[in-house]
Structure 1
Amino acid sequence: MEPEEIYLLITRYLARQTSPDENEQLAAWVGHSPENERTFEQLKAVWQASQTPHEPAETAAALRQVKARLARPVAVLAGPPPVRRWRLRRPYQVAAWVVGVVVAVGGGHFLTNPTAAMEYRVSRTLARQKQQIHLLDGSVVTLAPQSQLRYPTTFGETSREVYLEGEAFFEVKKDARRPFRVHSGSWTTQVLGTAFNVSAVPGTTQMAVSLLEGKVEVFDKQDHYLLAPGQQLRADHATGRIYRQEFNAAQVVGWRTNRLVFQNERLADVAAQIERLYGVKLVFADAGTAEVRLWATFDNEQLPAVLEALQLAGSLECRREGQVIYLRQVAAKPAAE
């Protein structure tokens, strides 16, 4: 893939026009090297700045600048040797190229003063670990176990953008001039100031945004959804269904105090919570075991107590080998005559 092709793929991804296969292709390219990741972040910073609306006169002037930059010799964006580890020549050259794509893909916003790429920090948590992050705007993020938050060292003048993999609880400081956006999976959750939980754990079939206070708007590739306090937006990747529902706050944010609440939930759907909170791996003997329904509440219990309760609540047999828990459904004993 030529440099121009990867730049176009990135801008199409930012415009939410890529397919799942293209997203995987881009993720593989970004993860190939730190240099590729820096390239991606620079292009994304230019794209985000280009989404700021301008007056018609400013837009026309910006378009003239873009056309002038794109008229430079193609050698400006010439690819490197066959090793294909692409490198940005100069920020303004890449900015010009990306803004040209914005004209074609985004249709309407142009960048007059390309900004340098933002500096980001990344906070990661391990299993059984939680972390509280205080952002410079006064917002507080509580990061769940086995999760990652990427955020700029300084927010921009028009928005506050953070990137989540996993689960986190957000308490956002109100700022009417700068919306706060959480990018998680294929969703973007936008707020001004509120308290909400986002769960977008890689490898799971469920994704959810749960609103406790204020108001949020969730965007996906096709639509957007407004939530009121007490509402949850949930996506089931297996069926493609997206729906709103009421939720139990203790069930959704109980992880903050090591509390697990299961109300008629499939073992397959709650396994990730147990794994992240206790640092173990659950292995099901068969598909039937994964479908076992659980009714149970654990208030900061130790792992042995949780396993014992699972056996009673779900007619399960548990066998532990180190940090791996093997689960098997057992037939219910017939009632005594």
Structure 2
Amino acid sequence: MTSADLTASRREQALDWFLRLQQAPDDAQLRSAFEQWCAGDAANAEAYRKAEQVWQLTGQLAPTTIEQWPKAPVVQLPARRRRWWLGAAVAACLLVAVAPSLSLRLQADYRTAQGETRDITLADGSVVQMDSDTAIVVDYSGDHRDVKLLTGQAFFEVKPDKSKPFHVRAEAIKVTVTGTAFNVALRPGRAGVDVQHGSVRVEDAADGHVLSNALTAGERLRYVDGIVQVKTFVPSQAAAWRQGQLIADDQRVAELVQELAQYLPGQVVLRDEALGNKRVTGVYDLHKPEAALRAVVRPHGGEVRSYGPWLLLIGKF
């Protein structure tokens, strides 16, 4: 086994221990086996210790059972080796962090990876253009055409059929159309609809309360924490992501960070609430998401610090 193979194998083992010990902190036999693994090689113990440290660095809340977790022995390694294992531990911890997202995607009929876009032609000829890190479920049974957006965003060009309304559900909202073109975006805690042409009806998905009876071309609806906001925009800018652009019009930094995180392979953590509440206007290149992220926060004194390819921390350091 080459040195690279050995380090990759150890990295996978560290992740496996991390997962198993979270799930069964009271398992004495598992704890004993873990301690033997740590004792077998100083690098094993260091990998696990760094994994715990970086997990806390990402801002994740510690499990309530953390005091029962076995602690790896403290081993001093040369600085170069410590830096290398920090990167390995970051990758291991972030794989744990994205597990819920991976589980969500198992429900999807269609999905895209980060950095991937995809066009889907549905049974009636309607077209769905899916952005990076997007997942949908399609139900064309009976007299309805339903699409559920699980995560991400998608642009819909719907074939008219008054006998079978087209519905898009995205957590808190339900969009109904007969034939039009519009974008639906779902981000943590918020959802939005941009209409390019035609009109759509937008309701609260939970109680059917009408948020907009006729959202028309050039109108943008945002629904955040029960609050509706409707603005106008240039219709040609609907779903600007299809041209590789992110257009911000007096938008919160925190929202833009969420948007750009969809295009980056690791976890993006905004650790400064005040910075997140600052507002930015500009056009950013989605083909260079990390550079765009730096451009978003720099005017307000923010920095982006990279810990390998798997973790970006944002704040004022």
TM-score (normalizing by structure 2): 0.59
- 1:122 counterpart = 2:109: yes
CA distance in 1, matches of 2:157, 2:277: 35
3-state DSSP of counterpart to 2:141: coil
Residues of 2 paired with 1:286 and 1:269: CA distance? 13
Q: Quick one: structure 1 residues 308 and 161, their matched pair in 2 at CA, closer, same or farther if it must change by over 3 Å?
A: closer
**Displacement of 1:278 after TM fit?**
2.7
User: Quick one: distance in 1 between partners of 2:232 and 2:160?
Assistant: 24
Secondary structure of the residue aligned to 1:272 is helix
> Which of 159, 168, 191 lines up with 1:173 in the alignment?
159
Shift of 1:295: 2.6
Aligned: 1:296 with 2:311? no
| Partner residue in 2 for 1:309 | 295
Compute the displacement of 1:302 (Å). Answer: 2.1
Q: Does 1:327 align with 2:314?
A: yes
Matched, 1:232 2:220: yes
Are residue 160 (structure 1) and residue 139 (structure 2) matched?
A: no
RMSD, aligned CA: 2.2
Structure 1 residue 263: Cα displacement: 2.5
CA contact (8 A) 1:189 1:219 kept: yes
Quick check: 1:316–1:327 contact (8 Å CA) kept in 2? yes
Q: Match for 1:234: what amino acid?
A: R
Unpaired runs of at least 5, structure 2: 1-106
1:219 partner amino acid: E
3-state secondary structure, aligned to 1:279: coil
How far apart, in 2, do the equivalents of 1:303 and 1:208 lie? 21
Q: Pick which of 216-225 and 268-277 moved more.
A: 216-225
Which residue is equivalent to 1:244? 230
Which secondary structure state, in structure 2, belongs to the residue aligned with residue 327 of structure 1? strand
Shift of residue 287 of structure 1? Answer: 1.5
TM-superposed CA distance for 1:126, in Å, is 1.9
8 Å contact kept, 1:209–1:233: yes
Cα deviation, residue 259, structure 1: 0.7
Distance 1:287 1:192, change over 3 A: same
Aligned residue in 2 for 1:42: none
In structure 2, C-alpha distance between the alignment counterparts of 1:130 and 1:258, rounded to whole Å: 10
CA shift in 2, pair 1:149/1:285, >3 Å:
closer
Structure 1 residue aligned with 2:177, among 191, 200, 213? Answer: 191
Distance in 2 (alpha carbons) for counterparts of 1:243 and 1:304: 29
**8 Å contact from structure 2 (residues 183, 239) kept in 1:** yes
* TM-score normalised according to structure 1 size: 0.56
Write the letter of the residue equivalent to 1:263: D
In structure 2, relative to structure 1, the CA distance for the partners of 1:156 and 1:283 (3 Å cut) is closer
- What's the % identity of the aligned pairs? 27
Q: 1:271 to 1:249 in 2, by over 3 A?
A: farther
> For the Cα contact (< 8 Å) 2:252–2:278, is it kept in 1?
yes
Instruction: Classify 1:191/1:305 alpha carbon distance in 2 versus 1 (closer, same or farther; 3 Å).
Output: same
